[in-house]
Structure formats: C-alpha cells, structure tokens
C-alpha cells in the first residue's frame, strides 16, 4: 500500500477534537443507539447500566464473562461484527487488592492488556462504533505525584510497586485510545476515577478496599457484640471517595460532552481522614463499642487526592454526600452479602 502523503499525515494532528461530536447527534439525543457496556456485573459497570436504563436508553447490550471472554480476540471480533454497537463503555477489567496484585502480577498485566486491546481494536474494525469510553484508575499516577494529582502527572515518575502491573496495563489503555484517535479517528476517550464505593462493591475479608473493609468489620463486631474494633495506623491519612452512581453520571456526561485526547480525572474534590471515615462507618453501622487505633501499623500514603477541576469546569459535579452514600451501601451489604450467607 502506498505511504500516506505528508499532507494527509499532518492533517491527523490538525483535526479539531470536536469533529466527532459535530458529525452525529449527541449521546443523550441518541437513546435508541446500541450501547455495549463491558463489565456490567462489576461495581462500575453495574452502576453505568442502571444509569443508562434510568435515562431511557432502549438498546443496551451486555454479556457475562461466560458468554463472552474479552481476553479472546476472535470471540470479541465476532461479537462486535454480530452486534454492531454504536457506543462502547469499557468498564471490564481484572481487579484486586494489594495481595492479589503482588501474587498474580502476570494475570493482572496480561488479562487487562488483552481486554483493552481486543475491545478497542474490534470497536474500530467493526465500523459501527461512534464513541468509546475507557475507564482507568487513580493508580496510574506516580507514587509521589503532586497533590491534588492533575492529569498531566501521568508518566512523570515511578508507580506504586504493589500494583504497578495493573497500573501499566491501564496506562497502556489510555495511550491506546489516544493512538487510535490520532491514527484512525476513533472517538475514544478515557476517564480516571478516584476511590469508588457503593452497591456491588467487593466486601471480601482479604482483598477489599478500605471502605467496604470497614463496613464489614464494624458489622461483624456489632453482630458478635465485640467490645472494640482495631483499625491499622493513626487515622491521619486523607482519602477521597466517590459514590459509584456519581461516576456513572460522569461517564454519561463525558460520553455526551467530551471528545478530547487527554484522559479526564473524575473525583469528588473533597477529602476525609481515615479516622473521620471510620467514625462515620461506625455510626452508620450502629456499632456501640470502642474504636482503637493501632499506630504500630503503617499509615500508607499521607494524601491521595485527584485534581478534578477539568471535569468540574466542564459542568459536572458529584451529587451523593458521603454519609448518604454510606447508608445506602451498608443497606445493600446487609440485604445482599449478609442475606446470601443465611
């Protein structure tokens, strides 16, 4: 095949980034368009699915892992060729805590690279996809990034060693979306959420994140009338939390409003100390015993806040207050996780 002319090659970089948005109706004006939500059973994917249905989208396509293994290229290409989705939200990923990341690094880097590569490439090849949104994670940023962490901190320093395999895969996903936009004109955007919580969270005793872990521990202490709950560290580190329904709302907003090269941080913009968080969970769960801090245990990073001024400046703001979100999440935990054990 002849090489593209210099003029054609340079025009790729001159293409206005709103070209994609101008050539079709907006996402929210196209509620009959077929939307494929990859990873619809997870914390994020399930929230996006709920949001799409509540907004009146009439043609949302989902597949379980048993029905479609996204790590298998031929299966993904066949699915896209048959279903021809107009929009794709890529919320599927292999995820886990520090222990899982440290024990199975090959699984985390391989599975996530395969999922992203297969879905983004098939979205281009099938010819029907108008827009794709890829979801990453705040762990893409360097361990010692400036606080709050702006989008421009990406690739500016070494990663947190405990989850670098997952982070490297997610960084590759961002870069893949950028590359397919530059070379092929695929309207692929990326969103990087902060720490998430809500219904469908992982409450596993060994590999859950801090908030579901606290909910579980306080509930179990309450159920057994334990006199105290011991929490690691001093309680002084600051953390940011976003309800998953707010993230789902931000995903819809970006699908509708954003068509840029750079990834977009999605956070609440507010911080809470681990001590304040633990006291709040204790109150929501109704545990009457003592809260004890084991300051001989490590605190972790003192602060981890995303700079979400970009999306906030575009007009999106989170709506779910932390306490209200915790009440709802605890209710879901009792009705689903605890009820299932009985």
**Can you say how many angstroms the Cα of residue 323 is from the centroid of all Cα atoms in its chain?**
21
What SS3 class is residue 227?
Answer: coil
> Measured between alpha carbons, how far is residue 127 from residues 80, 237, 267, 285 in Å?
9, 47, 33, 50
**Residue where the block lists tokens 């690691």:** 232
Distance CA 12, CA 10 (A): 5
Cβ atoms 299, 287 nearer than 8 A: no
Q: How far apart are CA 30 and CA 121, in angstroms?
A: 23
DSSP 232-253: ES-S--EE-EEEHHHHHHHHHH
User: Catalytic site residues?
Assistant: 166
- The candidate with the shortest Cα–Cα distance to 174, out of 145, 134, 143, is 134
Neighbouring CB atoms inside 10 A of 134's CB total: 24
């Amino acid at each position: 095949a002849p090489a593209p002319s210099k003029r054609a090659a340079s025009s790729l970089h001159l293409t206005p980034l709103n070209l994609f948005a101008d050539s079709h109706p907006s996402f929210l004006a196209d509620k009959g368009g077929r939307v494929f939500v990859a990873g619809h059973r997870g914390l994020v994917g399930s929230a996006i699915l709920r949001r799409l249905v509540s907004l009146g989208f009439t043609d949302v396509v989902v597949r379980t892992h048993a029905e479609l293994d996204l790590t298998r290229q031929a299966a993904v290409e066949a699915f896209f060729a048959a279903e021809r989705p107009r929009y794709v939200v890529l919320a599927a990923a292999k995820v886990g805590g520090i222990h899982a990341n440290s024990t199975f690094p090959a699984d985390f880097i391989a599975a996530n690279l395969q999922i992203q590569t297969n879905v983004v490439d098939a979205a281009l090849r099938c010819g029907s996809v108008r827009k794709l949104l890829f979801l990453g994670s705040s762990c893409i940023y360097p361990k010692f990034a400036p606080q709050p962490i702006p989008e421009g901190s990406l690739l500016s320093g070494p990663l947190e060693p405990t989850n670098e395999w997952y982070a490297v895969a997610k960084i590759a996903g961002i870069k893949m979306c950028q590359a397919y936009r530059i070379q092929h004109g695929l309207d692929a955007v990326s969103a990087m959420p902060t720490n998430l919580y809500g219904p469908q969270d992982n409450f596993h005793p060994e590999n859950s994140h801090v908030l579901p872990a606290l909910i579980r521990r306080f509930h179990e202490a309450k159920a057994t009338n334990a006199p105290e709950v011991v929490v690691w560290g001093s309680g002084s580190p600051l953390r940011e939390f976003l309800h998953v329904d707010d993230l789902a709302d931000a995903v819809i907003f970006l699908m509708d409003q954003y068509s840029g090269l750079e990834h977009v941080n999605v956070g609440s913009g507010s911080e809470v100390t681990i001590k304040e968080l633990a006291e709040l969970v204790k109150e929501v769960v109704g545990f009457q015993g003592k809260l004890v801090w084991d300051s001989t245990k490590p605190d972790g990073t003192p602060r981890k806040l995303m700079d979400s001024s970009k999306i906030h400046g575009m007009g999106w703001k989170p709506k779910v207050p932390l306490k209200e979100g915790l009440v709802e999440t605890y209710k879901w935990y009792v009705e689903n996780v605890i009820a299932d054990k009985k």
